[in-house]
Amino acid sequence: MTTMRRNLAGRWRLPLFAAALAVMAGPLASAQISSQSGQPIAYSADRGEFVQAERRLVLSGNAELLQGRNRVRANAITLTYGAGEGGGVGDVDRIEASGEVYFVTPEQVARGDRAVYTASDDTIVVTGEVILTQGENVLSGDRLTIHVGSGRSTMQGGAASGRRVQGVFYPEGGSN
């Protein structure tokens, strides 16, 4: 448990989500979200299972990851680890959140049906009626792809759903 907790806290960083959302938002991001890296990550769920042979932690039922003032909440969250030294558990390779996924920071809230962070390409993909809010500003679409390292993000509509990317942005100072 101590090794698992140390690896979870020391390897995967929720600020990747926060920084990416700040960069992605463009007009939504009036202030840069402060980095929470280096802070411990806490998790909770109705049920948790660690499968050593698969290097996988599965949290289900009101699953939540917390780091500083940032939070990921979903019906289920699965963390998959790479191989560590001596065949142990290494760094987080992938995080999957599904079922009413929310990512909440002090400045923004992102919602979707599924979110996947892949460490190998440092990418976050949020799908399923994605809604991103900051104050009164709103951006929506079907798929949000965030390339964390480059700061490049794309919101797409859905060809199958016929849904287009939409947004409402208020000038600094809000609406009157």
Per-residue confidence of the chain (176 residues) as pLDDT tens digits? Answer: 333 333 333 333 333 333 333 333 333 332 222 234 556 778 899 999 999 889 899 999 999 988 788 888 999 999 898 888 877 777 778 989 999 999 887 877 889 999 998 888 888 899 999 998 888 999 899 998 878 678 777 889 987 778 899 999 888 755 55
Report the pLDDT value the prediction gives residue 38, as an integer from 0 to 100. Answer: 56
Q: Is residue 19 part of a domain?
A: yes
Apex 123 CA angle, 120 and 128, nearest 5 = 135
List the one residue out of 128, 122, 113, 119 whose CA is nearest residue 152. Answer: 122
Q: Is residue 175 part of a domain?
A: no
E strands, 1-108, in order = 41-44, 47-51, 56-67, 70-83, 89-104
Full domain range(s) for residue 147: 2-168
**CATH code assigned at 89:** 2.60.450.10
Q: Is residue 51 part of a domain?
A: yes
Determine contact, residues 41/65, Cβ cutoff 8 Å: yes
Q: Is residue 148 part of a domain?
A: yes
Q: Is residue 176 part of a domain?
A: no
Q: Is residue 99 part of a domain?
A: yes
DSSP state of 158: B
DSSP state of 88: -
With tokens 């009157």, the residue in question is: 176
Report the pLDDT value the prediction gives residue 105, as an integer from 0 to 100. Answer: 78
86 vs 4: CA distance, rounded Å: 15
How many structural domains does the chain have? 1
Q: Is residue 22 part of a domain?
A: yes
Q: Is residue 173 part of a domain?
A: no
Residues 6+ apart with CB under 8 A from 11: 90, 91, 92
